[in-house]
Structure 1
Amino acid sequence: MTKLDQAADSLWAATAPAPAPTASLTGDLQADVVVVGGGFTGLSAALHLAEAGARVAVLEAHEIGHGGSGRNVGLVNAGMWVLPDDLPATLGEPYGERLLELLGDAPKLVFALAKKHAMDCEAVSTGTLHCAAGRAGLRQLEIRAGQWCRRGAPVRLLSARETADKTGTEVFSGALLDERAGTIQPLGYARGLAAAALTAGAGIFTRSPVERVEEDGNRWRAVTAGGSIAADWVIAATNAYTTRLWPQLREELVHLPYFNFATEPLPPEALPAILPERQGAWDTNKVLTSFRLDRSGRLVLGSVGALSGTGRSVHQAWARRAMTRMFPMLKDVGFQQGWHGMIGMTDDHLPKFHRLDRRIVGFSGYNGRGIAPGTAFGKILAEHIGGRIGESDLPLPVTLPVPQRLRAIREAGIEWGAQAIHLMRMLG
């Protein structure tokens, strides 16, 4: 059993291709659009804007994919957590059906971009498995499957036996196979988007946190410690990693930490049985368990919680027990990396489109579904700024951020609750 490498940032950082060279912003520049945030949304927007001929510059406070875009599980999902029939009821017409169509097709966009730009990001489009925990979980999936099937989506409810064949474990009572979806190496994908945007003519400046966005005549100026960029439009693409720049965005989101542990490459004799078709998977528990394989046959297992303070030891012990419960043949396999990132949760579990000021726009609140929606929303932003999509044709209504009540208390409760549940599951 190998010892956990606590110095490693993540499996994704250890295995992603090297990023394209970037530097910090120095001097004062001009652009049509300045994008604040180098994650999936900001980079997709920059790529599509640059391909359309716009002068666009990205300002990232750290490195490309530093936030949730480089720290997630890597599941490329279609739709949102909200049930398909509930989403139109929540958003109303025409936005509900419009958003369902956009996000249903969003994984196709991700895989097409990865192929078009020859990204080294381990893209696998064999679907995902939403696994039923017990009878109640199976009933949830039956409802979800029925709603998607009535809309013509390529989803299929699997029996317990079929689920065991596709996952390698018999702990689930069934699963929903979504053939639109798949997996990706998320940091590799973020770096691939950045490289493609640079090739298309975008400017990308890393280690360049924006200190303020101020009016500059009829334009805006994004100011960093080393320089500034004046532009007609600003895209706010900071999502769950928003700090002081737009505090109203931070106040709208409840932070949900999510961790992952990655094993050493699995023994050759175990690989034919565990996720043989390389689908990514997660279960129906409220404090869920996700699991998938990377290209080298490492198992990546995750759940809700932060790997800090007491959480590191609690969540690691739970992860080991969860892994051996599902896959007893892995009892001697060790974890090599452990890391966590932040998910931004909104009050209704749906993303928001905000106009923060004149020509300052952005999407936020991905609720754990960042890869495909972030990519699709970035393209939508590019088309909106380019005049090809008006506000009335957007997939979400224009709203102002609304602070969530008792946000700090709820965030503390999520972490302590996750630790308590993981402790109980170890003792149970």
Structure 2
Amino acid sequence: MTTSQHSFKYENLWHTLVEDKVSFGSLQNNEVADVCIIGAGFTGLSAAIHLAEHGKSVVLLEAQHIAYGGSGRNVGLVNAGTWNKPDFMVDILGKEMGENLVAALGDAPKLVFSIINKYGIDAQQQEVGTLHMAHSEKGVPELQDRYEQLTRRGAPVELLTGARMEEYSGSQKIPAALLDHRAGTVNPFAYATGLAKTADKLGVKIFENSPVASVNCEKPGEWVVTALDHSVRAEKVIIATNAYAEGELSEYRKSVYSGYYYQVASEPMGDAGATVLPYKQGSWDTRLVLSSIRLDKEGRLILGSMGRAINKPDWYLKTWADRIQQHYFPQLGTKMNWQYSWCGRIGFTDNHTPKVFEPAPGLIAAIGYNGRGITTGTLIGKLFADHLTDQEMAPIPLPFFSSVDQSKCNYSQMKSLFIESGFTMYHLGQCLKVIR
């Protein structure tokens, strides 16, 4: 690893690590399909693949490009389970639905990796688990509680401490970590690119740069979706835009409040980085405002946290990244070269549980993945496909809302501003070494 200072690029690293990108034209003619999907992220692409496997004709419309939103910008953790602890999910949803959701999302990494392996997708995947790390002794009880709740449900997790913890993390600053063997990592843009290629091969018609202007039901069983002055007539419609809904569909964003997540990536570390996460698990810590830590396929150290990077100066991001790196991995020295920074938007719900809508027969939507889009989106896409084709599968383990008003997030803009201000102050405290 060299010590010369490189220019700092506000560019999504994940895009640079995919050589065989895909591109699709915009909607140029009227189309007819069994199902029209709006949004080419994990949910929409997973739904398209599973619908095609069921023999359905599918048109997929994307306002920008494949994985433009959170699907192409996130950390790439293929997490198992929910953001909430399992017992809390039971408290929120009731025993049957809560346990079913915990189990379904616990198995969701298996679904992700099965699709990758079935269709030969190069997602730069690592099926090696994830580490939820205690940032200090204060974080250990949180992990012990999660460990107890997960093992009670038979999940293959380990609580690492002492020498074994240091072996897995490469850090002497972490007193404990929860190793979840179900999980792993991907390059999220590579995964989405592979899903798009697979859908295309299965006969799905994909149109990029085709923002939807309206979605209307002309008569029972016939929906008309318009984009670029053309229409797609379909029996059923899936709205899979999540936190990036635009235009008429932005109504769904009233059900969530937006938060941002930024990442900073170093240059490839070479031999100097051999001790950092040597088994290639992706990780995140138990800080009040969490930090994520992982490696890419070229050995870069990638750090991330809650907050918006676009309006922050270089010194802020670099100082923050130096602070995290030097705290956890002082063996890397004090002259890390940070090359890339990028940012994405997350849709948060008040109880950190996804929301599903069916406002009319044949129209279904989901939003609010709370930062767990890879597994949640892939699973919900499959469940939507099963639901709309009347497959004899387990029902979607979430309550259905018939309108946005039923699940409106009150004071969403105020909440977004409040948490962004809090994230900024927290990270500034880290930069100034006021917060450890």
Give 1:313 deviation, angstroms.
4.2
Q: Following the alignment from structure 1 to structure 2, what is the Cα–Cα distance between the partners of residues 425 and 344? A: 25
- The within-5 A match list for 1:81-160 is 81-160=83-162
- The change in CA–CA distance for 1:424 and 1:237 in structure 2 (over 3 A counts) is same
- Which sits farther off after the overlay, 115-124 or 26-35? 115-124
Q: Is the 8 A contact 1:2 1:336 kept in 2?
A: no
CA drift of 1:211 comes to 0.8
| Uncovered stretches (5+) of structure 1, i.e. residues with no partner | none
**Residue in structure 2 matching 1:398, options 397, 400, 404:** 400
Superposed, 1:323-362 pairs within 5 Å as 323-330=325-332, 331-362=334-365
- Indicate how the Cα distance of structure 1 residues 160 and 305 shifts in structure 2: closer, same or farther if over 3 A, else same: farther
Alignment check: 8 A CA contact 1:252 1:404 kept: yes
2 CA distance for matches of 1:412 and 1:110? 34
Distance 1:395 1:17, change over 3 A: farther
> Using the alignment, how far apart are the partners of 1:71 and 1:350 within structure 2?
21
| Cα 1:82/1:312, change in 2 over 3 Å | farther
TM-score, normalised relative to structure 2:
0.94
Q: Which residue of structure 2 aligns with residue 14 of structure 1?
A: 16
Identity fraction in percent? 40
Q: Secondary structure at the match of 2:294?
A: strand
Matched, 1:422 2:427: yes
Partner of 2:418: 413
Provide the rounded CA distance (Å) in 2 between the counterparts of 1:18 and 1:377: 27
- Assess if the C-alpha contact under 8 Å between 2:168 and 2:279 holds in 1: yes
Task: Verify: 1:213 aligned to 2:218, yes or no.
Answer: no
Q: Give the superposition deviation at 1:383.
A: 0.5
Structure 1 residue 136 displacement after superposition: 2.5
Q: State the Cα deviation string for residues 250-270 of structure 1 (Å, max 9, x = none).
A: 111111100011111003133
For 1:298 and 1:138, locate their aligned partners in 2 and report how far apart those are by CA, in whole Å. 28
1:223-258 CA distance string (max 9 Å, x none)? 111521110111010111012222331111111100
Structure 1 residues 2 and 196 mapped into 2: Cα distance closer, same or farther (>3 Å)?
Answer: farther
| C-alpha distance after superposition, 1:5-59 (max 9, x if no partner) | 435x211011123233311001101001000000000000000001111001110
Deviates more, 1:314-323 or 1:191-200: 314-323
1:230 corresponds to which residue?
233
- Aligned runs of 1:191-202 on 2, under 5 Å? 191-202=193-204
1:277 to 253, 276, 279: 279
Point out 4+ residue stretches in structure 1 off by more than 6 angstroms: none
Counterpart contact for 2:74–2:188, Cα < 8 Å: yes
* Equivalences, count: 425
Whether the 8 Å contact between 2:387 and 2:395 is mirrored in structure 1 is: no
Per-residue CA deviation, residues 406-428 of structure 1 (Å, 9 max, x unaligned), is: 21111111222111111111222
- Cα distance in 1 for partners of 2:420, 2:313 equals 8
Cα 1:4/1:287, change in 2 over 3 Å: farther
Contact 2:83 2:352 in 1 (8 A): yes
For residues 85-119 of structure 1, the C-alpha deviation after alignment (integer angstroms, 9 at most, x for no partner) is 11112111421111111111100111111111111
Residue 299 of structure 2 is aligned to residue 297 of structure 1: yes
1:246 is paired with a residue whose SS is helix
Q: Is the 8 A contact 1:19 1:195 kept in 2?
A: no
Contact 1:109 1:376 in 2 (8 A): yes
The within-5 A match list for 1:50-61 is: 50-61=52-63
Distance change (3 Å), C-alpha of 1:124 and 1:14: same
Q: Contact 2:212 / 2:247 at 8 angstroms: preserved in 1?
A: no
SS at match of 1:377: helix
- Equivalent residue runs for 1:353-372 within 5 Å: 353-372=356-375
Q: Which amino acid aligns with 1:425?
A: Q
